[in-house]
Chains A and B, each alone.
Chain A
Amino acid sequence: MNSTNRAWNVVCAVAFIVTLAVPAGVLAQTTSEEQTVSEEQTASEEQTTSKGTSTQDGKAGVFRMGNSPSLRWGNQVRIDLHARVQADVSLQEESDAASDRLGWGNRRIGVDGVLFKRVEFQIEREFSDVEPWRDVFADVRMHRALRVRAGHFKVPFSMERTTSDFDLDFIARAASVTDISPGRETGIMLHGRGPRRFFEYELGVFRLAEPPLKPLVESGTDGAMLTAARFTFTPGTASIGIAFTGSRLPESLHGLSGHFDDDGLLSSEGFYVNGRRRRLGVEGRWTAGRLSIKGELLRQADSREGESVSNSDLSDLIVDGGYVSGAWRIVGSPRRSRRSVDVAARFERLGFHSTSQFDAPSLGSRADHIAPLRQDAWTFGGTWLVNRWVKVQVNAIRESFVDETGIRPEIPQARWRSLMRLQFSM
């Protein structure tokens, strides 16, 4: 751990201790309803993936089995244990051996809970060598409108990205969401909401575990900071939100690799970036009975300072896209249900281009006008919630690539994919 990391961890720890030391009188000003911290989890369901049972029985040392095993010590401590696993099956006939068609999705265990009515916490680990620690954070409630979260958790950006993998309408998130949204980082965040959740906010600052892209020159000062803000308004059954992030971007090569190229066809395209990375997201959701519709527009702009052939600035490199999806509950209560069947459809788009369109489009790594490429996809799916623990999802996905300039020698062919997911979540 370098000095930057240590300093950042100290800052987070000190800030967190200060919030814990807030006089209890502050809490006394809140209502009893507001003190039931677990109820507020639904305001951020993506970051606290399990809803515990009530802690109001006041008995100590009680073991309960609700959706998941739970330990209680009066109404002061609640600890829920979780285990979740997903198995994915490719349904394409042309796929190779059966073993190649099977794969694990997420496999996680974790605990979460509430301490002394003030502190929520969550610790979750993935059975994977890649980023094994998922959410590891504590969340202190000072007031309904002011909470402090510190640790390792999702950056508040994108409605779908901050929704748990286990609660999605489709097997995979929209490509634009996966591609553009930041993931989990270590940081500290202020968040809260107004009455009836009409208004919610999240303001965070994070230290990136790694630079967003591999720097051309290792500076030895990794740990770039990312700031994020998200505001959500919920008038009635509709919800709209807007989110921003900003971070420094080292001089690096940003290619299509990692965006589109499952087949490696586009990995040779790389574009120099340098300066700042800014993200903007707009989201909306509307629910009416059995129908729910939601969508997002996301945009990531990377500056290219001093990256032209004459060492001057280039126009921003843009990755943008979005989706709109609708789901209809065929079976089960329109609201929460232990057994239900939903059908859903989604159209999504992910694009790669630059803001300038002055020159002829090019694939040159220092082109001011980058030849645009986009991926469109339709997803049709069904979700069967068998019981409170078991869920089955089936998706059919049609992906196509569009190179309007036609200057790429080769782009992937349009294709259908079909997947099935079995999920156990406790």
Chain B
Amino acid sequence: MGAQTASTLFDDRVLHTLQIAIHSRDWDQLRSTYLENDHYPADLTWNGIRVTNVGVRSRGRTTRSGVKPGLEIDFAHYGTGGQFLGLQALVLDNMLLDKSMIRERVAMAFLRRFGVPAPRESFATLFINGQYAGLYAMVEEVDSGFAQRALGDANGALFEYRWLRPYYGEYLGDDLDLYRPLFEPRAREYDSVFNLYDPIRELFRAINDTPAASFRDAVGLRLDLAAMLRLVAADVLLAEADGIVSFAGMNNFYLHRHSTTQRHQFLPWDKDFALFQWNYQITDGTSQHALIRRALEDPELRSLYAGFLIEAVESATDAGWLEQEVQRAYEQIREAVLADPVKPYTNEEFEAEVAMVIDLARRRPAFVLSEVQRLFGGR
């Protein structure tokens, strides 16, 4: 056996096998209280490597289930310094809302291919105490380890965005407590409220209150605008309806603040609503979104964005990458999905959904390109 690394774990060319040994009562308890975040001890085995005393908990927001629970494996829950292949945690996504079960994995692969810092993912068949418990996506946790790998900065602040109501990036006011519920710290949790949230407040103040002429410079001090536009362009190509620019405000992202530059960067999360409609309008949600709307009012940023959109189309169509990736993912998981005893949809629904995604992969890039040319007139 060669050296095992996190890259091996997230090698999406392989359908992995995960074994979890968990006390039968704990597993029953986890499933019956799947809305709670209680951790249970377990042993995890992958590729012949057994990791003892990991913490397992139910996870997810709209995807929580007592039948096929989404799981988080926390390697450090029962002792500081706990890790596996350099990872502090591993997410097992139950893909409950995606009948094709390939959207999340393919979308994240495209984001990384397109140069967006995105979690690594691969598929795994999961066995609980020797019993097949279904197909899962193994997702790299967005934490300080991820920030170090993807951004070269493990010491920055990191927030998980919490969708509470449609929020389009407007300035909420001076009170820092207005921002705290929306941005939940995932690193530097013990910093003061002021240190954590004052930069976020000032970011949204700058987004909304800066005159147009100085928008790019003022906001650019606090936010990596190019990285943001690249992510939005990728989401557009992926017909992502539930990302930073979604049908109901901002959603599904982490916000990282670099420890030295103090600039923020959006990081994508949860792509199970991507690839959902081939002709999803590329401007949907942008007019309401304070950040996108104002950024696209700046000619230089608008041109940059248009370029990113075209680049995304080229990346998706290069050697038919998107269509081939969807097809490859489908073929990789088909048998495992058909055998999945706890998926909340039928095999027929799975096949029909995959067919729809394959159709989208064929038609979406051309649609986006035509829309870009119509709206932006080329670069």
| Chain A residues close to B by CB (< 8 Å) | 216, 272, 307-311, 359-368, 371, 405-409
Contact = CB atoms under 8 A, between A and B. Distances in A.
Nearest to B20: A309
A308 B80 contact: no
Nearest to B129: A310
A363 B76 CA distance: 10
A407 B23 contact: no
A364 B52 CA distance: 9
Interface string B47-88: 000001111000000000000000000000111111000000
Nearest to A366: B41
Contacts of B150: none
Given A311-B24, A364-B78, A366-B26, 11 more contacts: A309-B21, A309-B43, A360-B53, A362-B79, A363-B79, A364-B52, A364-B55, A367-B41, A368-B52, A405-B79, A407-B80
A263 B9 CA distance: 41
Given A307-B23, A366-B23, A359 B53 contact: yes
12 contacts: A309-B41, A310-B129, A360-B52, A360-B53, A362-B53, A364-B52, A366-B23, A366-B26, A367-B53, A407-B79, A407-B80, A408-B79
A381 to B, nearest CB: 37
B23 A309 contact: yes
A362 B42 CA distance: 12
A124 to B, nearest CB: 43
Contacts of A409: 80
A364 B41 contact: yes
A35 B219 CA distance: 97
B310 interface: no
A310 B80 contact: no
Given A308-B23, A309-B22, A309-B23, A364 B53 contact: yes
B363 to A, nearest CB: 48
A365 B21 contact: no
B121 to A, nearest CB: 26
Contacts of B24: 311
Nearest to B22: A309
Contacts of A311: 23-24
A198 to B, nearest CB: 51
Contacts of A366: 23, 26, 41, 53
B27 to A, nearest CB: 10
Interface in B172-212: none
Central interface residue in A216, A362, A406, by most chain B CB within 10 Å = A362
B78 A363 contact: yes
Which are the 8 A-B pairs with shortest beta-carbon distances? A407-B79, A364-B53, A362-B53, A364-B41, A364-B78, A366-B41, A363-B78, A309-B21
Contacts of A360: 52-53
B128 to A, nearest CB: 11
Contacts of A405: 79
Central interface residue in A309, A360, A371, A409, by most chain B CB within 10 Å = A309
A294 B79 CA distance: 38
B45 to A, nearest CB: 11
Contacts of A365: 41, 78
Contacts of A216: 25
A380 B79 CA distance: 35
Contact of B21 (A307, A310, A368): A310
Nearest to A410: B80
B23 A361 contact: no
A308 B22 CA distance: 8
Nearest to B55: A364
Nearest to A361: B79
A179 to B, nearest CB: 23
B80 A408 contact: yes
B78 A367 contact: yes
Nearest to A368: B52
A407 B81 CA distance: 7
Contact of B52 (A307, A362, A406): A362
Contacts of A308: 23
Interface string B1-31: 0000000000000000000011111100000
A365 to B, nearest CB: 5
A88 B281 CA distance: 77
Nearest to B24: A311
B199 to A, nearest CB: 27
A254 to B, nearest CB: 14
A360 B55 CA distance: 15
A362 B82 CA distance: 9
Given A309-B21, A309-B41, A311-B23, A367 B81 contact: no
Nearest to B130: A310
A311 B78 CA distance: 19
B130 to A, nearest CB: 9
Nearest to A216: B25
A406 B26 CA distance: 27
A309 B55 CA distance: 11
Contacts of A367: 41, 52-53, 78
Contacts of A364: 41, 52-55, 77-79
Nearest to A359: B52
Interface string B29-42: 00000000000011
B41 to A, nearest CB: 4
Contact of A309 (B42, B77, B81, B82): B42
